[in-house]
Amino acid sequence: MSQAVSVVGLYVRDQDEALDFYVAKLGFRVHTDVRNGDYRWLTVQHPDQPSLQLGLFTPVSPMLDPGTVQALREIVAKGAMPPLVLAVDDCRAAYDRMRDGGVEFTQEPLERFGSVDAGFRDPSGNGWKMIESRR
Amino acid sequence: MLDFICRDGERVSQDPELLRRLLRAKDRMDAASHEKWTVRRLARVSHVSDAHFARSFKEAFGVPPHRYLLARRIERATALLRDTDQAITEISFRTGWNSVGTFGRTFRDVTGESPGGFRAREKAAPRELERVPVCILSAARRPDLKIAVLEKRRLATADKVGVQKVEVP
């Protein structure tokens, strides 16, 4: 497929911390990690979904003014960024594995309407729903 | 640690690191809204003093922690009323009330209708939102408690006895 969404970005508070979380704890892979002075373009991808990169970006000046940087950091830390959804084959197994790996869960696996879902946050405060794909 | 970076007019700047810890307390209420959440217990989750917690939480999320909890409980009760056939008494205990009377009164104060009335209306309505993840949909339908429930009750009573209605911004 040559036409598709290829990068979707998240704001994170610390890129090293986010890298450790998404790669070591969630099992994503690093796609691109390049720096230009203080700026760092960092993207990861789900091992089963090479067509989409998840960008882990920090709000920084001079791309943004200091007031906006502060506001965005607050919004992320308050968990007010849009919801993210991770599809998994087995929600309970993924929950056990990730919880043992130190992921902060906000909701234990819950069965409703023929599927199982759970909720977790990345260290920055971004909220994920983990939903078992319907079989 | 910086608590308030600046006060520029209306918006109060808060330390993102503190906000992340306040979010953890909010998440804990979300996960177990039927439990008793004293300010002390919440403050411990966020690693701040009791007084600091109550003030910072309201600044961060716009409502005091106890009102947030109340909204969550009503949200959960509405979901159980809509999606299950559990008795209203059972639902009131499962969502954290000590008496079904208090539950019914609060539910009416917040939503404007009784638990039974709400259930009957919802069960009759067509389903169209099944493609939105349930957990997210539920948060979107959370009652918006801009004023205290007691205040809302007072206004409703005042309205009934013919006192001039007060506009609530």
| Domain CATH code at residue A25 | 3.10.180.10
User: Nearest C-alpha of chain A: how many angstroms from B162?
Assistant: 41
Q: What is the mean pLDDT of residues B18-22?
A: 98
Chain B hits for A104, CB-CB cut-off 8 Å, are 24
B127 pLDDT more than 70? no
By mean pLDDT, which of A59-63, A86-90, B87-91 is the weakest? A59-63
Enclosing domain of residue A20: 7-132
pTM for the structure as a whole: 0.83
Which amino acid belongs to residue B31?
A
Tens of pLDDT, residue by residue over A68-124, are 999 999 999 999 999 999 999 999 999 999 999 999 999 999 998 789 999 999 999
Q: Tell me how far CA of residue B130 lies from CA of A106, A132, A133, B121, in angstroms.
A: 22, 15, 15, 18
In a domain, A124, yes or no: yes
Let me know: does A12 contact A122? Beta carbons within 8 Å. yes
- Nearest Cα neighbor of B91 from B83, B101, B99, B81 is B81
Domains in chain B: boundaries: 14-62, 67-160
Cβ contact, residue pair A76, B16, below 8 Å: yes
Q: What is the mean pLDDT of residues B71-91?
A: 94
User: Nearest C-alpha of chain B: how many angstroms from A57?
Assistant: 16
Cβ contact, residue pair A107, B133, below 8 Å: no
Let me know: does B100 contact B88? Beta carbons within 8 Å. yes
pLDDT-derived band at B125, boundaries 50, 70, 90: confident
Let me know: does B27 contact A106? Beta carbons within 8 Å. yes
Domain B67-160 has CATH 3.40.1710.10: no
Cβ contact, residue pair A125, B26, below 8 Å: no
In terms of C-beta density within 10 A (0-12 exposed, 13-18 middle, 19 or more buried), how is residue B101 classed? exposed
In a domain, A90, yes or no: yes
B51 pLDDT more than 90? yes
- Residue-level pLDDT at B90: 96
A104 to chain B: closest CA residue:
B24
Number of structural domains (chain A) is 1
Q: Is A132 an 8 Å CB contact of chain B?
A: no
Which A-chain residues 76-95 have CB contacts (< 8 A) with chain B? 76-79, 83, 85
Q: Tell me, what's the ipTM?
A: 0.94
| Mean predicted lDDT score pLDDT of chain B | 85
B164 pLDDT more than 60? no
Q: What is the number of residues in chain A?
A: 135
- Residue-level pLDDT at B103: 95
